[in-house]
Structure 1
């Protein structure tokens, strides 16, 4: 009790020896009765003004009066800072924004101990986005290296840790899912990796240049993709074997599991396409996908017959559109035989899938003329299942462009089969058909110089 009685208290007019007058440009005044010894010990500002070298004005029964000017919005923070000078341990129980206000007042008054306590609190407290904006608007203007730790979590990561977290997350994103927690982590990793590589208002978090580190990152990404594709190859082989031994039904337990596994695989590969496109590494997927086209289609038809699991079929179409687009633009160079094979496979699959999607969305339950494609699906689950129109257009354009890169006789075979197909409405290869007709008609005239060359002695 004696210690409590002896402890100086702010606002005790009877025993205080100095008055602090807080003034604002708006005309607000706050008078606080204080102890000069407490002020001078805890504040450089007051230590300077209470020294013999500073002219003072004696008022109110010979007490000193020290005037402090501050903005109206900062008045309460200055009062709090002055009260904290009397606390045994200055603490910050004011939230992030309150602590920022007290920090600014402490800087103004030179209260180093209080400023350090506020900085400790801000460095360790959780922030929301509004808090972060307030911190960015306040702390840098205070100056001083002692506040760098407050801003540390907002500073850009160095390339090395950014690359490390990218590779670690990519391994999770391409790994085989197991428990529910692992699947959630995998989904989160895929979402954030795509965000890391997206160039929007800000630059991507990871930019691969031509240095040695880029080669190392690409090599590890390629290994992860190779592992995913290897597991997918094993899956398609197993699915086809099961189909031969005992055709699966979508309603059976095994069939449902097969469909879910297939959807998981093609979803991962579709996501990988997005990432590889940003990293300019589509070749390590495109070459595999073109080579495995027949097995992929066979596995899809086995696991997702007809209009069942349209979402899975659409994922496959999405992957094929990206792969064929890379081939069509020359980003991935493949021999004519492989390009021809890919076109033949995906023209048929795309046409059937587009027909099934349109049929489901039209609510057409009469599939009598659709042959093997005609399994009904629930109208409610099938309705509005489709791809973005740009994906269909991209696939159609890529197929047409690749057809036009093939030898004229091969083009004629492909176009003939396309024209005879009952799903010739999609993809529309009219552009390739027009180009083939024109080239074929003018071929003799355009290549007539070859006859002259061949007959020259």
Structure 2
């Protein structure tokens, strides 16, 4: 009985306060905290994931507006920090220093961690929209000639984070307007197509080259892109597939499935329209000719 009297139900308010404190540490961009270094931040990130695990208290925590506001603020600060680190690459006119590379890798890893937390709180859309807005600037920097043969680990990590965004959009977890989906796909598809054979080539030349796209990542990206294309308006699908077939590296990602489905849908749509025209007795020979071409 003395032992049982000490067992009390968890105070949800206290739990929430602990979670808020952990989120603030986990999203901190002020740098290492002496004497712990980055260990305190890493520990806080692990604690946040643990507290948002599936149990009876999770629903209370993930639905709380104050908790959501804190996470959104953390995402905003992390994104701004990543943009600053990205811009700083142009300030170093010589080779990129190890310190600079470590900083930007840490910023990107923080955003990658966010991808594991946000879906549990129904906030992944915030990340997707933010990533779509950043994509142009990210690719402008990372594809600059200055970084052509540098920062392979950072480039692979970029593809890992982008894969999560493409999966969320491609499989319908996150709904965003068609123009935004098209923009996202047209921005990253050429980069993926360029990086895969380049990394494979470097790996074949040097067995010790550590930066490779593993099979799971390749399949994840390919599947997400196919699903994303098939959910676009037909004209946008046609544009993307036409560019894909013109490219020198049409093997990855393999969009054959998307192309075949697009052809089938297009032919079916034309046939149904012609049948409707005939049934309604309309004389639209010009339109029928256009559709048949």
Q: Give the TM bin, normalised by the shorter chain.
A: 0.7 to 0.9
- Give the Cα separation in 2 of the matches to 1:227 and 1:157: 31
- Give the Cα separation in 1 of the matches to 2:236 and 2:74: 36
Pair member with larger Rg: 1
Task: From 158, 161, 176, give the equivalent of 1:316.
Answer: 158
Distance 1:300 1:191, change over 3 A: farther
Once the two structures are superposed, residues 74-118 of structure 1 have per-residue CA deviations (whole angstroms, 9 ceiling, x without a partner) of xxxxxxxxxxxxxxxxxxxxxxxxxxxxxxxxxxxxxxxxxxxxx
Q: Which residue of 2 aligns with 1:338?
A: 180
Q: How does 1:149-160 map to 2 (within 5 A)?
A: 157-160=10-13
Q: How does 1:270-281 map to 2 (within 5 A)?
A: 270-281=112-123
Q: Which residue of 2 aligns with 1:262?
A: 104
Unaligned runs of 5+ in 2: 284-293
* Higher normalized helix content (fraction of residues): 2
* Offset, 1:207: 0.7
Matched, 1:215 2:65: yes
Distance 1:450 1:337, change over 3 A: farther
Q: Is the 8 A contact 1:291 1:338 kept in 2?
A: no
- Give the Cα separation in 1 of the matches to 2:51 and 2:253: 34
Matched, 1:249 2:95: yes
* Offset, 1:229: 1.4
- Give the Cα separation in 2 of the matches to 1:160 and 1:356: 52
Q: Tell me, what secondary structure is at the counterpart of 1:427? A: coil
Task: From 400, 403, 406, give the equivalent of 2:226.
Answer: 400
Q: Tell me, what secondary structure is at the counterpart of 2:147? A: coil
Q: Which residue of 2 aligns with 1:185?
A: 40
* Offset, 1:454: 11
- Larger displacement relative to structure 2 (438-447 or 342-351): 438-447
Q: Which residue of 2 aligns with 1:163?
A: 16
- Give the Cα separation in 2 of the matches to 1:453 and 1:159: 65
Q: Which residue of 2 aligns with 1:357?
A: 199
Question: Normalized against structure 2, the TM-score is what?
Answer: 0.82
Q: Is the 8 A contact 1:258 1:303 kept in 2?
A: no
* Offset, 1:176: 0.9
Distance 1:437 1:222, change over 3 A: same
Q: How does 1:21-420 map to 2 (within 5 A)?
A: 144=1, 146-148=2-4, 157-179=10-32, 181-199=36-54, 203=55, 206-209=57-60, 214-239=64-89, 242=91, 247-250=93-96, 253=97, 256-302=98-144, 305-362=147-204, 364=205, 380=208, 382-383=209-210, 385-420=211-246
Distance 1:156 1:267, change over 3 A: farther
Q: Tell me, what secondary structure is at the counterpart of 1:447? A: helix
Q: Which residue of 1 aligns with 2:271?
A: 445
Q: Tell me, what secondary structure is at the counterpart of 2:143? A: helix
- Give the Cα separation in 2 of the matches to 1:454 and 1:282: 50
Distance 1:264 1:208, change over 3 A: same
* Offset, 1:331: 2.5
Q: Is the 8 A contact 1:306 1:356 kept in 2?
A: no
Q: Is the 8 A contact 2:52 2:61 kept in 1?
A: no
* Higher normalized strand content (fraction of residues): 1
Q: Is the 8 A contact 1:248 1:302 kept in 2?
A: no
Unaligned runs of 5+ in 1: 1-143, 366-378
- Give the Cα separation in 2 of the matches to 1:449 and 1:216: 57
Question: Normalized against structure 1, the TM-score is what?
Answer: 0.55
- Give the Cα separation in 2 of the matches to 1:259 and 1:226: 21
Task: Give the count of matched residue pairs.
Answer: 280
